[in-house]
Chains A and B, each alone.
Chain A
Amino acid sequence: MNFAELIGHLGQHTVDGLSKGAIYALVALGYTLVYGVLKLINFAHSEVFMIGTFAVVGAWTLMGATDNPPFGTMILLLVGGLIAGVAASGATAVAVERIAYRRLRRMNAPPLIFLITAIGVSLVLSETFGLWQGRLVKGMPNVLPRKVVFTIGNTTIDNRQLLTVVAALVMMFALDQFINRTRYGRGVRAVAQSPDTAALMGVNKDRVIVLIFLLGGLLAGAAALLYNVRYGNTRFNVGFLLGLKAFTAAVLGGIGNLRGALLGGLLLGVVEVYAATLTSSAWEDVAAFVVLVVVLLFRPTGLLGESLGRARA
């Protein structure tokens, strides 16, 4: 137990954890949106994220990305990557809904059937990329070289961490406003609260469901860009563990609750970094799940409770 290291560089580890957790949070939002409306664990969401990472790499290759590009090119690459990732992930998420889930919804299938279908879809997507892109880790140019932006005490904050956390917060804020302020958002909340009543009141349920899959996909695409910037590599099965963590984060914060997903993601990132510092990185996954179990014991619906449907009208 390396307490001296943790206490001595508490600020640094917290910043690391937050930037790691911001990626979890963005993916977790996709799980939580779908769960809040459909009460369904969308296991295929992890592959939606994976496809985003490959789309970003593809766009960068097309745009001829190199290591350490000049500032203007860098901005262009980031925007191009974002557009590609968001488009690919959003399209995949909507396609999964249309091809697999809609039919099951018509049958009013129990959750177990949805789950196995989602696992099947997830296998198909990741295997397709495994066969097409090879099974090895795929490297990519270092588009955003690490550069310290500012220092507080002995805590340094670099441009990647800043970008990740700020981007996640901005997107979270935008999503929150969208769900709580707009006409479409009202539709989402109505369907989450009571699908039948919402349908009788003239809400187009299918359109709302496509919308939430699309939103989740868009956020996963943005998360894919941030992931690529942070880790600089991807792989056909990159989604599995990250999806697991993101789902854990969503449950930790209270699944179906947008702010809960953000809180859960950030918290999970920090817990993992702390645990890895205290013991070794081999135990960080154990810490993540232990925290989940302990939180669920005392707050069975997560830290902030489930509330997409019960949010203020």
Chain B
Amino acid sequence: MTDTLRRINDVRRQAAGSVGDRWRALPRWQRAIGFLAFVVFLYYLPYLGIPGLIWLRTDTTPQGNDWAGVLFICAVYVLIALGLNIVVGLAGLLDLGYVGFFAIGAYSVALFGSTQSPVVEALQNRFGLSPEWAVAWAICLPIAIMFTMISGVILGWPTLRLRGDYLAIVTLGFGEIIRIVARNSTFTGGPQGIAAIPGPQGAPSADNTIFGLVDAKPWYWLALSVILVVVIGVRRLENSRVGRAWLAIREDEDAAAVMGVPGFKFKLWAFAMGAAIGGLSGFLFASRNAFIDPTQFNVNLSILFVAMVVVGGAGNMAGVALGAFLLAYLPERFREFSDYRTLAFGVALVLIMLLRPQGLIPSRRRARELHDRAEEVPANV
């Protein structure tokens, strides 16, 4: 049966491939206009009312969630996928503990920004500050990024010297350790978590006109803007000396070392950059939610994150963004089948990997690598 599917897939692949080639053949200004139109469409998405596309909205179904809220979650996942793509897609390091960075970002803003957090209370008592005092939201942002980068370096320093598969299990353990520490320590609020996490307008209250608890649209626009900045930044990074070093390490670390690329240094950079973006997404997530607890940072999420990157097409930002969007959006859209969602997810993962191992929108270089590998299939008697 898979052979028939494969043949259908080949036909479809040729059709899709010609679309991609035609897009790349367009003049630069036409591509820029296309991209701008797409960005405008993304900003318009929360109001989506185009006849024929309304069924996309999640609030048209029974028990469906608020559409803008779903879009916000999708945006956070896209941001996570962009960060993990640096680690998995560009540098080729398998990180199964990415949820740890997400959690550190979220806990940074919670611990320093919320008036109810034990850390802020300790600071208030130590310096005799008023009980309403807490670190401002805008200052929590660099704190969150700093903490996640530091934790990325702390995790990477001992483990990046290990071979790939060992790295996978150690990072998996790291993600689990972060969650267990958050659950069992008193300074993180333990299993009760932390409430009253601030947003751009300060602590959550009914007076917040823009970034309130009810209307998720401004939050979605904020996350979307952050994504655009990150996309531009990562694109510049990809085409820089650092990005080329990452690709070289991914393709053959020994050859890269012979050519004078210090593998450990650049792998550590990839880890730190990926961690920072993961922290940023955790920061946004916690601000919007206004409440976090350790159960929101399960190990299963790490696996979902890696699946987003690989299904979408590791190494290609458009691909991983699509993968993240689909894996966040589809379960919300098909909420009425909630019992079968995980099963369907598993089946989809297996089928995509068997039929399209390079991902939905692969990076061209990576697709070629896979193709080369398939050509040199080992002897089989």
- Chain A residues with CB under 8 Å of chain B are 35, 39, 41, 100, 103-104, 106-113, 115-117, 119-125, 127-128, 130-131, 195-196, 199-200, 202-206, 244, 247-248, 251, 255, 280, 282-283, 285-286, 288-290, 292-293, 296-297, 300
Contact = CB atoms under 8 A, between A and B. Distances in A.
Interface of B: 2, 88, 94, 158-159, 161-166, 168-170, 172-174, 176-177, 180-181, 183-184, 299, 303, 306-307, 310-311, 314, 339-340, 342-343, 345-350, 353-354, 357, 370, 373-374, 376-381
B377 A108 contact: yes
B373 A108 contact: yes
Nearest to A135: B339
A113 B176 CA distance: 23
A50 to B, nearest CB: 14
A127 B354 contact: no
- Max count, chain A CB within 10 A of own CB: residue among B174, B183, B310: B310
Given A109-B370, A247-B169, A116 B353 contact: yes
B190 to A, nearest CB: 10
Given A109-B373, A204-B381, 19 more contacts: A41-B168, A100-B350, A107-B373, A107-B374, A113-B353, A116-B307, A116-B353, A117-B350, A120-B307, A124-B346, A195-B379, A200-B379, A206-B380, A244-B172, A286-B181, A289-B173, A290-B177, A293-B159, A296-B159
B314 A112 contact: yes
Given A199-B378, A289-B174, A293-B170, A104 B346 contact: no
Contacts of B379: 195-196, 199-200
Contacts, number: 150
A100 to B, nearest CB: 6
A292 B348 CA distance: 33
Nearest to B339: A131
B317 to A, nearest CB: 18
A119 to B, nearest CB: 6
Contacts of A120: 307, 345-350, 353
B197 to A, nearest CB: 24
B96 to A, nearest CB: 9
A195 B343 CA distance: 34
